[in-house]
Amino acid sequence: MSGGTLVGPGHLRPWCDRPLGWLVSQLGGIALSSFPAYVAMLHSPLLGPRRRAKLARLRARAAYAHARRTVPAYRDFLRTHGAFDARRFEQLPVMSKQNYIREYPLRATLQGGRWPRSGAVIDESSGSSGAPTQWVRGSVERAATQRLIQYSSRATVGGEYILLNAFALGPWATGMNVSMAMVETSVVKSVGPDIDKLVHSLDVLGPEHRYVICGYPPFLKLLADDPRVDWDRYSITAVVGGEGMSEELRGHLGAAFSRVISSFGASDLEINLALESDWSVALRQRLADEPALLERLIGRRDVLPMVFQYDPTQVFIENGEDDHLLFTLCRRENVSPRIRYDLEDCGRVQSVRDVYRACHELGVDISHLPRPRTELPVLLHWGREQHAVSFFGCNVVPEQIQAALMRIGGLGDQAKEFALRVYDDDRGDKRLEVVVELMAGAETEGAEVEGRFFDILADLNQDFRTARSMLPAALAPRLTLEPCGESRLSHQDARIKKRYVLQ
């Protein structure tokens, strides 16, 4: 997603002075035959943040107007919410899986209320938050998404490489789309989330190639811990997606992979909507040490968000209520439009200049960070609410558990799976349990590490530290280590995202 170099606004002023309507006419649709020119203009430093923001809003409004004209379910949705004649974009009702996708027949959510004649693909979400959902994508939007994936891969990875795709294959959106997109620009082997196949592939193909391996973070940790691979002989970039990860896990993966890049997307929307850059990764690592800056940017100190950059002319993102992000896909060609869609993801968006302004006002020196290669806006994302638990007024998120495990020598290497559980005990008291399934042969005793684990978690989460200090010893949180294959976590489907909350 990054590209270009920051250039002052005085360069080539005549092009900048073109009316914004002219830019909309040039960038308003995807012309696949001239896609390189589209990308060059879109990421040109001449299209500054303000012009890009105006263009993004115009494209979002155009996508809304087109959906209002062509999608039966959306017209009814607007009428039901008394917004059919809304004058401002912010007055449009927020759509979600609950109030829109599940309320209307699938065909009614498509343009024209009918199936495309050809070229459409039906993806299925993993069902990690409930029953799987069907998502229809047309040929034009799929082609555009694939081109954007190809562009971002060239910008971040570059060169020639072999792609080993470890995302789940079959009806799920990410795995198949990654393979279809990248086969045009690289050698692709689709192995799915299978450790043995990946190890065998590396052994057969040999260390003389550059590799990109993509998959969910917990799966890539299992791969990085596999003793059958001599990682020093290979040059491998890991691209992770599907969920966030701690910086401790990034460091752990760095022992096997030369680079670890995270990508943001969703089955409800599209894959590869936002991507980490060297600058955004360095900024996130700086935020971990600057709670005041963290609070200025996201309004809280108890989570460390993933930091991405994204193209607002492809996806227009708003800061919604209760820190819920609202997404509008800006392409009118999308068969099933998303207008102000609440993915139930929490986060905030900021401009690069706002980030630097906050740093300056708080006296935070970030001059040593890599220079951002683009002024595309920043997405600060800390995940979905159903992946966190609430305990005595504090929220505990999986990334914090992951970070605490990695900071305890030996335990992070021996942890295969983990999950959070909040429950009422026999006396009706609220309890918190962290369940960890160990790797095969691991024998770490829970009593030896439990205190240190929760001390580290308290350092990572100020609200948890406060809650823990007020609890009587009888209600102290518990760390339960369970053997491989006999744990409550042993039978999760490797093809879908992990469930981090136990009932």
What tens digit of pLDDT does each residue of 109-130 get? 999 999 988 888 888 775 555 5
Tokens standing for residue 87: 């004058």
Q: What's the pLDDT tens digit per position in 397-450?
A: 888 898 999 998 778 888 888 999 888 787 767 889 999 999 888 876 656 788
Q: How confident is the model at residue 238 (pLDDT cuts 50, 70, 90)?
A: very high
Q: Residue-wise over 297-307: b if at least 16 C-beta within 10 A, else e? A: bbebbbbbbbb
Dihedral, CA of residue 391, residue 394, residue 397 and residue 399, to nearest 10: -130
What are the C-alpha distances in Å from 283 to residues 19, 51, 247, 254, 367? 35, 25, 12, 18, 11
Return the SS3 of 454: helix
Instruction: Tell me the sheet residues that pair with 123.
Output: 135
**Is residue 237 within 8 Å of 157, Cβ to Cβ?**
yes
Using CA of residue 267, residue 244, residue 406, residue 467, what is the dihedral sign?
negative
Instruction: Tell me the sheet residues that pair with 328.
Output: 316
Indicate the pairing of strand 415-424 with strand 501-502.
parallel
Indicate the burial class of 385 (C-beta count within 10 angstroms; 0-12, 13-18, 19 or more).
Answer: middle
Q: What is the mean pLDDT of residues 335-360?
A: 95
- For residue 473, pLDDT over 80 is answered with yes
Helix (H) or strand (E) holding 199: helix 195-205
* ∠ CA 435-439-216, rounded to 5°: 80
Q: How far is the C-alpha of 306 from the C-alpha of 275, rounded, in Å? A: 10
Q: How far is the C-alpha of 350 from the C-alpha of 375, rounded, in Å? A: 11
Predicted pLDDT of residue 131? 66
Residue 213: Cβ within 10 Å count: 26
Window from 19-33, 290-304, 351-365, 470-484 with minimum mean pLDDT = 19-33
- Please name the residues in contact with 364: beta carbons below 8 A apart, sequence gap of 6 or more: 286, 290, 292, 293, 358
Indicate the burial class of 340 (C-beta count within 10 angstroms; 0-12, 13-18, 19 or more).
Answer: buried
Indicate the burial class of 253 (C-beta count within 10 angstroms; 0-12, 13-18, 19 or more).
Answer: buried
* ∠ CA 381-384-386, rounded to 5°: 160
User: Nearest CA to 214 among 175, 170, 169?
Assistant: 175
In percent, how much of the chain has pLDDT > 90? 46
Predicted pLDDT of residue 22? 39
**Is residue 104 within 8 Å of 73, Cβ to Cβ?**
yes
- For residue 4, pLDDT over 60 is answered with no
Domains in the chain: ranges and CATH? 389-502 (3.30.300.30)
* ∠ CA 243-245-247, rounded to 5°: 165
- For residue 257, pLDDT over 80 is answered with yes
- For residue 339, pLDDT over 90 is answered with yes
Q: How confident is the model at residue 189 (pLDDT cuts 50, 70, 90)?
A: very high
Using CA of residue 421, residue 424, residue 429, residue 430, what is the dihedral sign?
positive
Tokens standing for residue 334: 């999308």
Q: What is the mean pLDDT of the chain?
A: 84
**For the range 195-200, what are the long-range contacts, defined as Cβ-Cβ under 8 Å and sequence gap of 24 or more?**
195/219, 195/222, 195/223, 195/226, 198/164, 198/166, 198/223, 199/223, 199/226, 199/228, 199/229
- For residue 465, pLDDT over 80 is answered with yes
